[in-house]
Amino acid sequence: MDRYPLPILDGVIDSLENSKVFTTLYLKNGFFHQPIDPERTKYTAFVVPNAQYEFLKAPFGLFVPPNFFKIFIIHTFIDIWADKTLLFYMDGIIISSQDESENLKKLKRVLRIASENGIKLNFENSSFLHRKIEFLGYTIQNGTIRPSPSETAAVQNFPIPTTIKKRTCCTENPQQYKTQSNSENPFELLTSVSMKRKEETQILRILEEKYQRSFQEQREQMKEQAKENIRKIQEKNYHTFNRETKTTT
């Protein structure tokens, strides 16, 4: 089987940065678009009471559909894929342009090809000719790309840990959080204590009842400042880290 990996997420997002008008389309049911060879449908048979059925189009759950699904979509839209009329990621298609007129022309081409090849779209979840969109966890508007508020809500609503166990939950796997700072983990900002010193008595003192009142105001200020710092780090990561990577490759 040929390996056909999904596009790099950062590359998809970066390619939209200079666009101003967007249309997002989502395929109905995701898979179930690739016809199966009639001689092979017997291998997809399944039994229900009093009947046996075979899949006529490739369902999700087989070993190969994710790879072949992308190949199928690209080959279907190959003429407009080459000139970057559309971008495709999983079951989402995005059409970008500089103005509404250009976007509408591209949209007509995409819909015509989809209709000719039996590709069904979910119009209820699609959006047309918007200047601001949410796509793959980012808000894209007027040449700017920022993390979507829905993706950062957990950080903005992050509660102050009141026990060592709760504090450990937010710092036990900090490597998953990308940051350019080698000396400070963003989640340390929320607790004001270095992870390397988490067993020291200073943590226990902060958590003791008699210190709660004196530290309350300081902790509230620290929490709000930490949220703002993490938000800035997220934006800085995207706008600088990715760019530096591109210039060195």
228 with 204, same domain? yes
pLDDT for 225 beyond 70? yes
135 with 205, same domain? no
Instruction: Flag whether 120 is in a domain.
Output: yes
Q: Of 71-85, 172-186, 191-205, which gets the smallest average pLDDT?
A: 172-186
Q: Which of 175, 157, 158, 176 is nearest to 166 (CA)?
A: 158
The pTM for the full model equals 0.56
26 with 81, same domain? yes
The tens digit of pLDDT for each residue in 29-44 reads 767 777 788 888 888 8
CA 33 – CA 49 distance, rounded (Å): 26
| Tokens representing residue 87 in the block | 């971008």
The tens digit of pLDDT for each residue in 194-204 reads 444 444 555 55
134 with 218, same domain? no
CA 149 – CA 140 distance, rounded (Å): 12
54 Rama sector, left if φ>0, alpha if ψ -120 to 50, beta otherwise: beta
CATH of the domain at 38: 3.30.70.270
Higher pLDDT, residue 203 or 172 = 203
Query: Quick one: pLDDT at residue 162?
Result: 64
Percent of the chain clearing pLDDT 90 (strictly above): 4
User: Residue 230: which domain range?
Assistant: 159-170+198-247
136 with 218, same domain? no
